[in-house]
């Protein structure tokens, strides 16, 4: 039997790691919502500072609204999943502890989903702000555009932020558990929603704020995905896009192919030939085998090795002044 959750209740899941002050502000933005009923599930990812004390204080102050769960440090995906398993609401909101919701978010997006029962997700405009609350970009990414589905845009970029959408619980249950990727696990989550053909309801108003700050944005640290996880990420993105019906000759798929090829070269440059080969094969599949330079690169890598081929290619591109090709599109955070 499908669990639709407590009617009208919106559950907000907030993963947090060593960020007590911002956590309080994120929680305040949920408490300020004009919609009721609400509940907040704070999921601690093994914090080692005063965050657990801040969580306890919030539970004490709002015992009917705030609940907490503590987890070992495994990253933002497992932390969100631990919160999702405790959610009781008909609607699910994810909110990183860095960011804030605007007061009418739930009211507007719940109304949009009520008006459009065929839609599983509602979203509105997000704006980028600094630590002083000054608006740096509005709308941020493609949140000011009307999209009916997540694909094909997801092949170019994750064009909204984690806090932008509001999900029906029944859709979240079908999407399934959050994965353990340290980075872009939110992108992987939305890939699965896109593969399911989830329809989007657009709300023409500002609904959330994405904060730019000097600290680490997620509950992990370091550079983007390690090469084996890049293979996992890109293969999933391709598979889900194809499940969503994106053709290999779509402009977004051409962009994806070039993007993956660039990561194949990068993995070769840092000495991971296995990941470089896997990403190269994927780039070729996504291009329908049409990339002459990709085929030529494979011959070069076979002759001199993936690392030397990458370094030789970098030098050649620099000497020729090569820039992004015609198949490459601007990502959602880039100025149009």
Specify whether 280 is located in the same domain as 240.
Answer: yes
Please report the pLDDT score of residue 189 as a whole number: 98
Please report the pLDDT score of residue 319 as a whole number: 77
How many domains does one find in the chain? 2
Please report the pLDDT score of residue 219 as a whole number: 46
Residue 15: C-alpha distances to residues 43, 48, 94 (Å):
5, 14, 8
Specify whether 231 is located in the same domain as 206.
Answer: no
Specify whether 231 is located in the same domain as 158.
Answer: no
The residue to which tokens 């090795």 are assigned: 305
Residues in the chain: 336
Strand-pair partners of 40: 12, 66
Do 139 and 208 contact (CB within 8 A), yes or no? no
Please report the pLDDT score of residue 274 as a whole number: 97
Is residue 335 included in any domain, yes or no? no
- 10 Å CB burial of residue 199 (0-12, 13-18, 19+) is middle
Do 206 and 104 contact (CB within 8 A), yes or no? no
Cα(23)–Cα(249) distance, integer angstroms? 44
Specify whether 232 is located in the same domain as 138.
Answer: no
Please report the pLDDT score of residue 336 as a whole number: 62
Using 50 as the pLDDT threshold, list the residues of the chain that sit under it: 219-220
Q: Which helix (H) or strand (E) holds 288?
A: none
Which pTM does this prediction carry? 0.93
Is residue 331 included in any domain, yes or no? no
Do 287 and 294 contact (CB within 8 A), yes or no? yes
Residue ranges making up the domain that contains 276? 227-320
Q: Which helix (H) or strand (E) holds 230?
A: helix 227-243
Q: Which of residues 211, 237, 255 is at a domain's end?
A: 211
């Amino acid at each position: 039997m499908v669990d639709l959750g407590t009617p009208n209740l919106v559950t907000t899941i907030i993963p947090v790691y060593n960020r007590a002050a911002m956590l309080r502000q994120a929680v305040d933005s949920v408490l300020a919502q004009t919609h009721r009923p609400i509940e907040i599930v704070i999921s601690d990812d093994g914090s080692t500072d005063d965050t657990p004390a801040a969580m306890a204080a919030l539970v004490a102050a709002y015992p009917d609204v705030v609940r907490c769960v503590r987890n070992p440090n495994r990253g933002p995906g497992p932390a969100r999943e631990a919160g999702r398993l405790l959610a009781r609401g008909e609607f699910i909101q994810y909110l990183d502890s860095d960011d804030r919701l605007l007061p009418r978010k739930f009211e507007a997006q719940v109304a949009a989903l009520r008006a459009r029962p065929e839609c599983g997700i509602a979203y509105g405009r997000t704006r980028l702000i600094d630590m002083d609350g000054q608006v740096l970009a509005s709308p941020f990414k493609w949140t000011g555009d009307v999209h009916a589905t997540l694909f094909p845009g997801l092949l170019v970029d994750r064009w909204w932020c984690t806090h932008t959408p509001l999900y029906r619980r029944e859709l979240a249950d079908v999407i399934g558990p959050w994965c353990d990727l340290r980075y872009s696990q939110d992108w992987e989550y939305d890939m699965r929603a896109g593969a399911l053909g989830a329809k989007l309801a657009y709300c023409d108003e500002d609904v959330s704020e994405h904060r730019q700050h000097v600290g680490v944005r997620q509950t992990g640290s370091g550079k983007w995905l390690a090469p084996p996880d890049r293979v996992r990420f890109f293969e999933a993105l391709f598979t889900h896009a194809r499940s969503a019906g994106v053709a290999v000759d779509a402009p977004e798929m051409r962009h994806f192919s070039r993007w993956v090829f660039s990561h194949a070269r990068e993995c070769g440059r840092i000495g991971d030939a296995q990941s470089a080969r896997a990403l190269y094969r994927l780039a070729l599949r996504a291009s329908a085998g049409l990339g002459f330079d990709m085929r030529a690169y494979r011959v070069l890598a076979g002759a001199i090795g993936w690392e030397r081929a990458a370094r030789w290619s970098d030098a050649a591109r620099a000497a020729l002044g090569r820039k992004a090709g015609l198949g490459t599109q601007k990502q959602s955070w880039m100025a149009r």
